[in-house]
Amino acid sequence: MKIALIRSAVHRNGGVERYVWMLARELARRGHDVHIIARRCPELPHPSVTFHQVNVRGPLSFLKVLSFASMASVAVEVGGFDVVHSCDRILSCDIYRAGEGVHREWLEVSSRYMASWRSVLKRLDPLHRVLLRLEARLMGGDGARRVTAISRRGSEEIRRHFGLEDVPVIYNGVDLDEFRPASGDERETVRDELGVPRGAFAILYVGSGFFRKGLRYLIEAFARLENRAGRAPWLIVAGRGNTRLYMRMACSLGVSDRVRFCGVDVPPQRLYRGADVFVFPTLYEPFGNVCLEALASGLPCVFSPYSGGAEIVEDGESGLVMKSPADPGEAARLIRICMDEARAARMGAAAREVAARFTVEANADQTETLYREVAAEKSREESGASSAAAAP
């Protein structure tokens, strides 16, 4: 099949960006003619993949979003694709993957965690109005033939906000060879690079967009932790965000000397292998690649109830699920459970088994099945239109 995959940026890192990159590689390996339509794709996922660059215009973010949506649609119209699969909010496509959830839902959720005046300003921002309109179009009759979610909660949000009943869930996949438990002296090597003591209890957070992903609450929880069996807790923070703001918070709580911000300089695969526990207190996350990556790396994980990881683990066995991401006391209690080495080892082994059910190949299998359904549907419609045109 000739397949178009659409995303503003496509690369090895990130969330949706990495998902598209991995899917394109797997589909190309299976012999499909894969085309990426994006603003940038610094590295092709496979030699046979074709990259169509979309040049966006506009000095402001909402103009760039509109420009990409319209220019991507032009590229689709002239491409002659069997299936158009968009992972971004554009004007129309065959399949829209709601990988970033429902924007209307996020605006409602975020308003609970910020001052009312900030919430009002956020809703007045033209960017959010543009995203809401594009989203509504895709969910309506003129947008996408199919809408898919990446978690059960995401599917339910789409039903609740847009009335769509048939919203299949296609979970993300993880590369089990790339994300694996540490071996040999890998853990010690990573810690040496980060300046984290080898005997410390290393808590890992991975995620860009610190406000949405609850870093504030993790730092507050971290400040409540104490040494256990001579192991001092350390916090490793990876991702893009307002580092200065959160370092000031750590300073005010007296823990800045045990917090390491490493941005996006260290490959996440290595960070997981250097950690003792992964904590993800996100306020809103449709799924989160990091959840699967941490599980595949054999780490005990503490998940927000609003992350996809929470719905694939068995609470207390293969992971721990918070009741509220905004409760530092609860987060600290769950992290303390993971400081028990025997229990952490059992949970980490169970986590790896969970991740083994969610591979890149399994994701591609489900996606490929959907492609065939859509391509067959389009073929029937075209045949019907041709017959009608030929009729006297």
Residues 51/72, Cβ–Cβ less than 8 Å: no
Residue 294: predicted pLDDT: 98
Residue 67: predicted pLDDT: 94
Kindly calculate the radius of gyration of the chain based on its CA atoms and give it in whole angstroms: 22
- Given the DSSP bridges, would you call strands 301-303 and 2-6 parallel, antiparallel or unpaired? unpaired
Instruction: Give me the helices (H) in the chain, please.
Output: 16-29, 61-77, 103-111, 116-124, 126-139, 152-162, 186-194, 215-222, 243-252, 268-273, 289-296, 328-338, 341-355, 360-390
Residue 115: predicted pLDDT: 79
Residue 391: predicted pLDDT: 54
Residue 157: predicted pLDDT: 96
Q: CA nearest 155: which of 99, 237, 211, 93? A: 99
First to last CA, the chain: 33
Residues of the chain with CATH 3.40.50.2000: 2-173+359-390, 186-355
Name beta bridge partners: 233. Answer: 201
**Residue 231 per-residue DSSP state:** B
Residue 20: predicted pLDDT: 97
Architecture of domain 186-355: 3-Layer(aba) Sandwich (3.40)
Q: CA nearest 22: which of 317, 387, 370, 360? A: 360
Residue 119: predicted pLDDT: 78
Architecture of domain 2-173+359-390: 3-Layer(aba) Sandwich (3.40)
SS (H, E, C) 326-356: CCHHHHHHHHHHHCCHHHHHHHHHHHHHHHC
Residue 121: predicted pLDDT: 80
Residue 380: predicted pLDDT: 87
Q: How far is CA 2 from the centre of its chain?
A: 26
Residue matched to tokens 């989203």: 135
**Residue 257 per-residue DSSP state:** G
Q: CA nearest 5: which of 128, 99, 104, 105? A: 99
Residues 232/207, Cβ–Cβ less than 8 Å: no
pLDDT by residue for the chain (392 residues), tens only, comes to: 999 999 999 999 888 999 999 999 999 999 999 999 999 999 999 999 999 999 988 888 999 999 999 999 999 998 899 999 999 999 989 999 999 999 999 999 999 888 777 877 887 889 999 999 999 999 987 789 999 999 999 999 999 999 998 999 999 999 999 999 999 899 999 999 999 999 999 999 999 999 999 999 999 999 999 988 779 999 999 999 999 999 999 999 999 999 999 999 899 999 999 999 999 999 999 999 999 999 999 999 999 999 989 999 999 999 999 999 999 999 999 999 999 999 999 999 999 999 999 999 999 999 999 999 999 998 888 776 655 555 56
**Residue 56 per-residue DSSP state:** -
Q: CA nearest 230: which of 201, 189, 192, 187? A: 201
Residue 13: predicted pLDDT: 86
Q: 20 to each of 17, 351, 357, 367, how far by Cα in Å?
A: 5, 24, 19, 12
Residue count of the chain: 392
Residue 369: partners with Cβ closer than 8 Å, 6 or more residues away = none
- What does the alpha-carbon distance between residue 39 and residue 55 come to, in Å, rounded to a whole number? 6
Q: CB 320: neighbour CB atoms within 10 A? A: 23
